[in-house]
Structure 1
């Protein structure tokens, strides 16, 4: 392998390469796809380690099958968080006291410290290599950086002037007694300055850095991306504390060294849920004594959407619902006259979404998983893993879009044949959890992990579980995964829901090697204007996603009358909002398909029908679907009340 030639110097005996770029994005621009160039692996969140003797790659579970097909025989393949870590593998490859190199620009500070300690335990030394070895090898073959012009995100969509956001950030810096902050997250810069771009896939951001002090705002970006409209928007022609000074992208490094001689305390972003914080290179640019490592204040500012953003998110989801109705109605109409594969269906879903008004792109890699693939919770479809789709098993589609008004993320499960009773039971259990969470009213001091139990309870009743988190925050024409919200039991978090937050609600059931069911909606957090005895307020969730469920997969005997009423109300909302949008578009095929999928479900069965449909065992299950969630919710609220008393 060519990279071995770069390891022959006296200093470095191994090299670690993450799939991140300098801003620690998971999805990166073609010019930053270093790991893909080295290994051939096209997934994300991966790490490679190379020595003179061998090479290894660590990927997430969902990418194992894909990586196995894309790597050649030179590579060993491991799963992230497996028993064999990078340090373990390097210990087997190297003698003690050898140096392991890595580019500090591509490694989060927290991860660098972790690697450093693990390698130290193996008597190995982690060393900073600022000149990236892959870039040296890549040479002229490396793709050119994209020079897409920056788009102003108008106030009619943002709902707030960027100047007001900067003032709020400065107030928070004053509270933390900091002279300045270095903003490294592209999604935070996009939010603060009300700008959007196309520099990386799936997230409308601009590759840049931002330094905000009490006197200055420095925007480090390729000047070729600037326009007259953007200069006017950012007030670049004036010289007071509310004018943005434009500097070349690479100048941030010399400026950090210069200002570190002036500032007494600078806020450097720490890790927060999905955000990895700043890179090791950023931390190394400042003297340790002036660094204040703290969660970026922008995270909490951005999470709570203003009224304009809230309206925009609802509008985006109406359009997105119309897109899914169009795609699946076309698929059903043509299913038995054409041959379909996962990749072909993916193309159809993406085409329908991108044809919508104000659609700006996808928000994530579209997941289309059929049959056994649907039983893998983290499966990502690709040309390597593509299979034919028939009417014999479940088809899971997880996808999302970027619109001027907002960002979407939705999962639905389909079946084009006839379901077995087991299939209907599996689907209905997942649906029950989604319905219960969408109608939860709760005190604002409720822990995130306590919300999780309500969604999982129907799955737990079958002595099963799903491995992924139940929910995460979502941006407004920004990142599809946005901190600080992450809903997962067993995960400690000191964050709470607030009015104006949007987050995904996801549930799943996976029968290993056979099939899987996954449903996901985006929920909005609203204030009920009612007080809780603890002094907190009562909040409520409202569905924003407007995509029909599959009625033939729903076993009504496993839902309570209240849950069926909730489902009917949800269907009525789809008929009203998505129906109007489809008629406005003149898409009557999708309209009639949607009307059929949202037909009314009887909330109560006559006693004779109920007995015939359920039998004694299923009556007990139906009883449990009402009692168990009530007990869980009661315990949750009671626990919050006890914490208030104590």
Structure 2
């Protein structure tokens, strides 16, 4: 559970391992090899055994890629890791280039690779990504080759073993629906579409469908597994035998056949002649080529579990609120600690992370953190996805801002919250920027919208006040959140980029506008909220959806410039703070000093 702060990478890693990779490439008859960050499961968090990009290059960020040739190598990262890569890359071996989704294809096609054979692992790339790479390689004069054995896996001596944590049932008290009902409903959908089966490759979807959880990766309670759901409602679950016990088999029931995950290719071969759905956004190219080779009729479409998983039922929403109320107590205690116990000149970013994790653990119900805490003081807070380590950890000083983005995993829900506070007296500039962000946050909370509205349609509301002042932020405004699953969940999203999935009742999304000044500070305010409705507003004639806020934690009153708020916005802040005080105040009886502090923190503006 504990977050670690060592930099498990750096220049020496590439100096040691790139020669080993090149030797394995040569033995495989390859002149080059493409190394994505993704693993076989396309997970946000990966077990150490699957962190191939980090092993080859020493880069430990959560997104990127490498392109290794016999005489040179390139490392591709996006703007989030512009500073980190400078510290981790062996610059004499790796040329640093910019990574832009969907991949570094424009750069690769500009290389002269005439007559070369370039390998890639089809189990690590979606069909779209693999097609982009192959097209770029052909334009560069190279021959792409899908390899059955990844040369990194061959060269990686002492590779950690794959995790074998036991999978376990998640009680219906938390899921609100038994697995059999979920399977029956989705099977009926498959049958209606004339499909025989769906291949489910995302571990989050497998966990949701079967009401199981595990411990194979940090921050997400996942068993690494795959599944095939048939239109009859029967299913095949592919999972390592060591993860399965009698309790799990009894939970799964007779309609679920449990297979060794090593036999997955055999399971796909059994779909010969069947009409099968698979998601090209989450299933690797290997799944599609294996199915087609075995003469299955493959229908590319969104993961059959993605939308029903996103539409939380009443039990899941009640659980989410309970988790957020519990988490709110921890956040209040932490913010009180920051204001009263953190010492400028002594307290560090790592101290803050450890204190927050300790407070969350004291609830007795925390299962894990939901992601590695972003603890950014001053200039570090200006990096939206900053991860503190022992080398980067800054010490608090007066007159700066501190941004902390964190979350917890509980049986009844997953939390994610960001608060920005001032250490010492804030400047007028800080207050202006914070308030502009707050105005966008409020707009994204109170908005009403008709059926068919997507997150793309709403994104501008969170940016409007900033845009009018000539400012913006470079990340999305909101992501979906799972129910004791991944903290980042689709298919819904609130961002500038197009999202085709309408927001619907029960979807949980984050609301997190921000503003960042490189070298100075970052500001972000994040609550989780869920879609409610639709209902017809008095005087209107079109049913409208809206949002209900889950997160209960005080905002930074001393960072609010009241002159920039409308009367309605001030009323919203006061109403929100009254709810925070009423919800978590009574839970702070064991900490009377925090209870008193909360009353002041939530006082009317």
Q: How does 1:623-642 map to 2 (within 5 A)?
A: none
Q: Out of 267, 282, 287, which is 1:282 matched to?
A: 287
Structure 2 CA distance for aligned equivalents of residues 345 and 84 of structure 1: 36
What's the CA shift string for 1:292-348, capped at 9, x where partnerless?
000112111111110000100001111111111122222322223761222222222
Name the structure 2 match of 1:178. 195
Q: How does 1:69-468 map to 2 (within 5 A)?
A: 69-73=87-91, 74-81=93-100, 85=104, 88-89=107-108, 92=111, 95-139=113-157, 141-215=158-232, 216-235=234-253, 238=254, 243-257=255-269, 259-263=270-274, 265-271=275-281, 277-287=282-292, 290-336=297-343, 339-468=346-475
Aligned 8 A contact 1:181 1:211 in 2: yes
Q: Does the alignment pair 1:587 with 2:591?
A: yes
* Shift of residue 67, structure 1, vs aligned partner: 2.2
**SS where residue 402 of structure 1 aligns?**
strand
Task: Judge which range, 407-416 or 41-50, deviates more.
Answer: 41-50
Q: How does 1:545-556 map to 2 (within 5 A)?
A: 545-556=551-562
Q: How does 1:431-580 map to 2 (within 5 A)?
A: 431-489=438-496, 491-530=497-536, 537-580=543-586
Q: How does 1:8-47 map to 2 (within 5 A)?
A: 8-9=26-27, 11-47=29-65
Q: Which runs of 5+ in 2 are unaligned?
A: 1-18
Structure 1 CA distance for aligned equivalents of residues 131 and 103 of structure 2: 19
Structure 2 CA distance for aligned equivalents of residues 84 and 261 of structure 1: 33
What's the CA shift string for 1:143-164, capped at 9, x where partnerless?
1222211121100000001000
Aligned 8 A contact 1:87 1:119 in 2: no
Aligned 8 A contact 2:273 2:296 in 1: no
* Shift of residue 447, structure 1, vs aligned partner: 3.7
More helix by share: 1
Task: Judge which range, 210-219 or 586-595, deviates more.
Answer: 586-595
Give the count of matched residue pairs.
583
Structure 1 CA distance for aligned equivalents of residues 538 and 458 of structure 2: 17
Larger Rg: 1
RMSD: 2.1
Relative to structure 1, the CA distance from residue 445 to residue 82 in structure 2 (aligned partners, 3 Å threshold; closer, same or farther) is: closer
Task: Judge which range, 83-92 or 125-134, deviates more.
Answer: 83-92
Q: Which runs of 5+ in 1 are unaligned?
A: 272-276, 602-646
Q: Does the alignment pair 1:598 with 2:602?
A: yes
Name the structure 2 match of 1:636. none
What's the CA shift string for 1:19-50, capped at 9, x where partnerless?
22211113101121222222222221221111
**SS where residue 340 of structure 1 aligns?**
coil
Aligned 8 A contact 2:536 2:542 in 1: no
* Shift of residue 7, structure 1, vs aligned partner: 2.1
Relative to structure 1, the CA distance from residue 170 to residue 387 in structure 2 (aligned partners, 3 Å threshold; closer, same or farther) is: same
Aligned 8 A contact 1:108 1:278 in 2: yes
Q: How does 1:57-68 map to 2 (within 5 A)?
A: 57-68=75-86
**SS where residue 388 of structure 1 aligns?**
coil
Aligned 8 A contact 2:311 2:504 in 1: yes
Aligned 8 A contact 1:66 1:384 in 2: no
Structure 2 CA distance for aligned equivalents of residues 156 and 454 of structure 1: 37
* Shift of residue 535, structure 1, vs aligned partner: 8.1
TM-score (norm 1): 0.87
Relative to structure 1, the CA distance from residue 246 to residue 83 in structure 2 (aligned partners, 3 Å threshold; closer, same or farther) is: closer
Relative to structure 1, the CA distance from residue 554 to residue 337 in structure 2 (aligned partners, 3 Å threshold; closer, same or farther) is: closer
* Shift of residue 118, structure 1, vs aligned partner: 1.5
* Shift of residue 441, structure 1, vs aligned partner: 2.1
Aligned 8 A contact 1:522 1:544 in 2: yes
